[in-house]
Amino acid sequence: MSVNVDLTTVWAFIIAFAVFAYVVMDGFDLGIGILFPTFEVGPERDRAMNSIAPVWDGNETWLVLGGGGLFAAFPLAYAVILPATYPLIIAMLLGLVFRGVAFEYRWRDPGHRRYWDAAFTGGSLIAAMAQGMTLGALLQGIEVVDRAYAGSWFDWLTPYTLLTGLGTVAGYALLGAAWLVWKLDGESQHHARQLAKRAAWATLVLMGAVSLYNVFLNAEYAARWLTAPEIFYAAPVPILTAVVAVAMLRALKAERHSKPFWLGIALFFLGMAGLGVTMWPYVVPPGLTIWDAAAPERSQVFMLVGVAITLPLIIAYTAWAYWVFRGKVGHEGYH
């Protein structure tokens, strides 16, 4: 018996997985950068950086996979989304460049370390804000005429995109603080735990605000969440989000080490599930579905062979890197 496989749907899930992997892995790196000014100059800042030194650049592999996969599997979506968000994409890339350069040079140029620390924080903050605003620009809808972007240069700048940008910054700060709770000890860990509590509340409030805004943003979004029978399929997402949120706050209060970080990842996963419920099957709301934007089937098959080889390798070496550098971070450092 033959089985029909919708390759377009398969590719949609591959890209969604790559985006999720990037968000949670590079998210805590960016979160540490966002929180960096709150750390004491000296050993506390050095230990925070050393906690991500072995893995931060490898985490960006997932950004390449997600962006490259979008270009290859959904070229029309790529051709529409980029012109609609060019300023945000440029800002994000420049932020990541400043973050990466500052990460290396703060150790090699101690005389100007405070400037490199400022670049590290600024680059992380700009990259996180730009990523969140790009998501907001996509969710609020992109004007498409004759299969091309038909909006203006500043359509991406709205109160809604600013809200999604702030939500992403808060969420990354939560992941960064939770990572440090896991990787540090002593007074630095206590400081990270206090930051995680504040970031958790900020993240939950902003998640709620974005979710509420979505209901009024688009009538179809409201129907997905508030009308039967769709509501019965969507309801588990906010319910589980509330359960995870309570568990995270309790884990932070109980001074658990790794549990807050894993619950933070779960929170992001549920947020992405909610995003899927809201957008599916559109890749560019409100007019382009994944099938409208998909590459020819032969191209999808050809690329799927490559992904079937490379994706397990990426997962394997990423897991190995995290395993090798497991445990608490000492004072000796990576550099």
Q: What are the residues whose beta carbons fall under 8 Å from the beta carbon of 11, sequence distance 6 or more? A: 69, 73, 74, 290, 294, 300, 303, 304
In a domain, 230, yes or no: yes
Examine residue 335 and state whether it is found in any structural domain, yes or no.
Answer: no
Decide if 12 is inside a domain: yes
Is 152 inside a domain boundary?
Answer: yes
The answer to whether residue 55 is domain-embedded is yes
Q: How many CB atoms lie within 10 A of CB 233?
A: 11
Contact 295, 72 (CB under 8 A): yes
Q: Tell me if 40 sits within 8 A of 322, measured CB to CB.
A: no
Q: Tokens 């990426």: give the residue.
A: 314
* pTM of full prediction above 0.75: yes
Domain range for residue 224? Answer: 2-324
What's the number of domains the chain is made of? Answer: 1
Per-residue confidence in pLDDT tens, the chain, 335 aa: 444 678 999 999 999 999 999 998 889 999 999 999 999 888 888 888 888 888 887 778 888 888 888 888 999 999 999 999 999 999 999 999 998 898 888 888 888 888 999 999 999 999 999 999 999 999 998 888 888 888 888 989 999 999 999 999 999 999 999 999 999 988 989 999 999 999 999 999 999 999 999 888 888 888 888 888 888 888 899 999 999 999 999 999 998 988 999 999 999 999 999 988 888 888 888 888 999 899 999 999 999 999 999 999 989 988 998 898 888 876 665 55
Q: Do the domain assignments include residue 332?
A: no
Alpha carbons 86 and 149: distance in angstroms, whole number: 12
Residue at 211 is within a domain: yes
Q: How many CB atoms lie within 10 A of CB 85?
A: 24
Position 331 in a domain: no
